[in-house]
Amino acid sequence: MTSYVFPPAAVVGAPIAGSDALFPVRRIYCIGRNYAAHAIEMGHDPNREPPFFFQKNPNNLVFGDAFPYPPKTSDVHHEMEMVVALGSGGVNIPVERALDCVFGYAVGLDMTRRDLQGQAKEMGRPWEVGKAFEHSAPMGPIYPVSQVGHPASGLVELKVNGKVRQSGDLNQLIWKVPEMISYLSDYFELAAGDVIMTGTPAGVGAVVRGDVMEGRVEGVGAFSVRVV
Ligand code: MN
């Protein structure tokens, strides 16, 4: 039996709707600027340029209803997104076979320290300080494909304190789910347990302590997260 010099960190398990079993998370990939209107609001070309990705850490996920306001920032933004959870993976996965890898879908928030991300962009530095901080990825339960199919259209919405802030439709994704999986698999070896955050529609903005964020993706699910 292998021994460790200290106990290894626990596997992060995401809840699955209708099941007591957990989904063991391996990696989190996030795609940038995947809705034209959001690319424009961030000052970029909305045309179909090659996608780009960054990562968060599995233990950045939050499955409860509280998002602790992070340190070293005064501009924390919500990014409401559909999340894809993979049940299998591989390399060089063709677009036509990519959906076979999907275990299920969830709603999630790619919380962002926008001020730190902005500084990183300006200085040509990596984005981790803006994106991959503690509790930066609130996520709802995963709905297996057997329950929700493969949603390709439907409202993506975020309300803050009851007011709509973000509104888009899955059919506005510049890079569709099968294309994202296929593209990623050309660069990385994908595997069961990998999670992909599919990008956010327009309307990103700041939250403060006490705000209640209610997100939903039509055909997938909904959740509510309070900034504490
Ligand atoms: Mn995002």
Distance CA 206, CA 35 (A): 19
Render pLDDT for 23-76 as a digit per residue (tens, 0 to 9). 999 999 999 999 988 888 888 887 888 999 999 999 999 999 999 999 999 999
Render pLDDT for 107-164 as a digit per residue (tens, 0 to 9). 999 999 999 999 999 999 999 999 999 999 999 999 999 999 999 999 999 999 999 9
Distance CA 213, CA 87 (A): 29
CA of 78 to the centre of ligand 1 (A): 9
* Closest residue by Cα to residue 83 from 54, 108, 110: 108
Q: What predicted TM-score, i.e. pTM, was given to this entire model? A: 0.96
Q: Which domains does the chain have, with CATH numbers?
A: 13-227 (3.90.850.10)
CA of 180 to the centre of ligand 1 (A): 14
CA of 82 to the centre of ligand 1 (A): 10
Task: Tell how far CA 135 is from the center of its chain.
Answer: 12
